[in-house]
Amino acid sequence: MTLDINQIRAQFPSLHRPAIFFDNPGGTQISRQSALRIQSYLLECNANHDGAFATSQQSDAILNEAHAAMADFLNAARPEEIIFGNNMTTLTLHISRSLARALNPGDELIVTRLDHDANISPWLLVAEDRGCKVTWIDFDVEDCTLKLDEFEQALERKPKIVAFGYASNAVGTINPVRKITEMAHAAGALVYVDAVQYAPHGPIDVQSLGVDFLVCSSYKFFGPHTGILYGRYDLLDGLKAYKVRPAPDSLPGKFETGTQNHEGIAGVLGALEYFEWLGKTFGAEQEEGLVESGYTGRRLELKKAMTALRAHEFELSRLLLATLAGIPGLRLYGQSDPRRLDQRVPTFSFTLEGKHPRLVAEALAGEGIYVWDGNYYALAVTERLGLEASGGMVRVGAVHYNTPDEIARLGEVLKKNV
């Protein structure tokens, strides 16, 4: 293991409880830095935007810093490309309405059956409103990877928008984002990527990927319940924003409707400060190559953190895969080849023969192991796998603060309940 797990876990106050948190794909535990930022904001500068007085000015400074830090985290070109909102779903519904203004009846949109419904339903609603056609891209049910040949065929019809996920919240698959983006752009389409599930597991570089829009949520990467949208400046600047008249026409304010969750945005800054600490503490091995690539300052520390974290999680994925493979009657969905762990995040979903997923989750909860069951809003996945009517799947998701001992305990309890 490449990270010192004791130092890591000391940064998460919630982990002192006698519980094993494998519910991380639905929301991670908050880092100490994030919680302190929230507390500090509420006690020291809790004020509304753009006032002439000290607390308002201090508040604005923190919000501006959060935009800058999030731009560094995603390697965006400028802070104005970062939009904060309630969550990824709300932001996607909001921006999809603006994008819909340029669509005409008969225009084509592409979605995939591997996605969370927050990157499907908004586009279905756009198609309904504007008379557009929706093409669904299927996935291979054996390893839960997208069928890129279907993408190629669909792109021949010159769609306007292509929406897909960075990583599946249901089965852990990491999609080839850069490749799909290049394919979509060659066909003249805009690209909208849901990175909620990938963001806690590895570095994201929106400039290298070339995506037009990318969304994530900080409660999945050790912060509060706040959503983030990245959009290319020229695209965001040119879009019509649905807002009240006194709100600014400039970015990012024109898309940050009403009074924002200021303490939540401060908490996002704290989560990114946790990653900075991680990079400074454990990222020395990555520094030389990243400096040569032009990374400096906070961007360097964040990139170091996420690169080190990704390497660390390969071992967690390997242990989880081996543990689940040893459970009688367990069927794992998704990539199960230990030689291809670079193609998944440590999110594993499965069924146990003869046992309803909810009963399995309840049995694990009774032993202090927290996991999810059902469809996790990835409705298209459980429908395609034929599991929706039978309760979906059990989902176990590790992040870097989980331990080999916790994975071993999961295996013991599952064997006891088979």
Are residues 242 and 94 in contact, defined by beta-carbon separation less than 8 angstroms? yes
Which residue from 170, 193, 151, 197 is spatially nearest to 381, judged by alpha carbons? 170
DSSP secondary structure, 237-256, as one string: HHSPP---TTS-SSTTGGGS
Q: 272, 293, 328: which is the final residue of a domain? A: 272
61 in the same domain as 198? yes
CATH number for position 381: 3.90.1150.10
Q: Domain tally for the chain?
A: 2
Q: Is residue 381 part of a domain?
A: yes
Bridge partners, residue 268, by sequence: none
83-138 pLDDT tens trace: 999 999 999 999 999 999 999 999 999 999 999 999 999 999 999 999 999 999 99
78 in the same domain as 184? yes
Q: CA geometry: angle at 115 spanning 111 and 121, to 5°?
A: 60
Mean predicted confidence (pLDDT) in 28-41: 98
405 in the same domain as 266? no
> Does residue 417 register a pLDDT over 90?
no
User: Which pLDDT does position 12 carry in this prediction?
Assistant: 98
Token pair listed for 30: 């908050």
136-156 pLDDT tens trace: 999 999 999 999 999 999 999
Are residues 254 and 241 in contact, defined by beta-carbon separation less than 8 angstroms? yes
342 in the same domain as 203? no
Residue 139 belongs to what domain range?
Answer: 34-272
Mean of the per-residue pLDDT values of the chain? 97
d(CA 126, CA 99): 9
Q: Is residue 193 part of a domain?
A: yes
pTM score, two decimals? 0.98
15 in the same domain as 42? no
Give the three-class secondary structure for 375.
coil
Token pair listed for 350: 């499965």
Distance of CA 205 to the CA centre of its chain: 14
237-296 pLDDT tens trace: 999 999 999 999 999 999 999 999 999 999 999 999 999 999 999 999 888 889 988 899
84 in the same domain as 18? no
Amino acid sitting at position 271? A
Q: 272, 288, 319: which is the final residue of a domain? A: 272
Question: Among all chains, which residue has been given the structure tokens 């040119």?
Answer: 238
- 33, 253, 165, 126 alpha-carbon torsion, rounded to 10°: 150
Q: Is residue 295 part of a domain?
A: no
Which residue from 186, 201, 242, 231 is spatially nearest to 67, judged by alpha carbons? 231
339-371 pLDDT tens trace: 999 999 999 999 999 999 999 999 999 999 999
Token pair listed for 309: 């974290």
Q: Is residue 280 part of a domain?
A: no
Read off φ and ψ for residue 356, nearest 5 degrees: -70, 135
List, in order, residues 6 or more apart from 218 with CB less than 8 Å away.
34, 224, 225, 226, 227, 228, 264, 267, 268, 271
Which residue from 125, 73, 68 is spatially nearest to 95, judged by alpha carbons? 125
User: Which pLDDT does position 1 carry in this prediction?
Assistant: 59
337 in the same domain as 229? no
Q: How many CB atoms lie within 10 A of CB 223?
A: 31
d(CA 270, CA 262): 13
Q: CA geometry: angle at 134 spanning 132 and 139, to 5°?
A: 170
Q: Is residue 184 part of a domain?
A: yes
Q: Is residue 367 part of a domain?
A: yes
Mean predicted confidence (pLDDT) in 321-343: 96
Bridge partners, residue 162, by sequence: 110, 191
Read off φ and ψ for residue 384, nearest 5 degrees: -65, -35
227 in the same domain as 94? yes
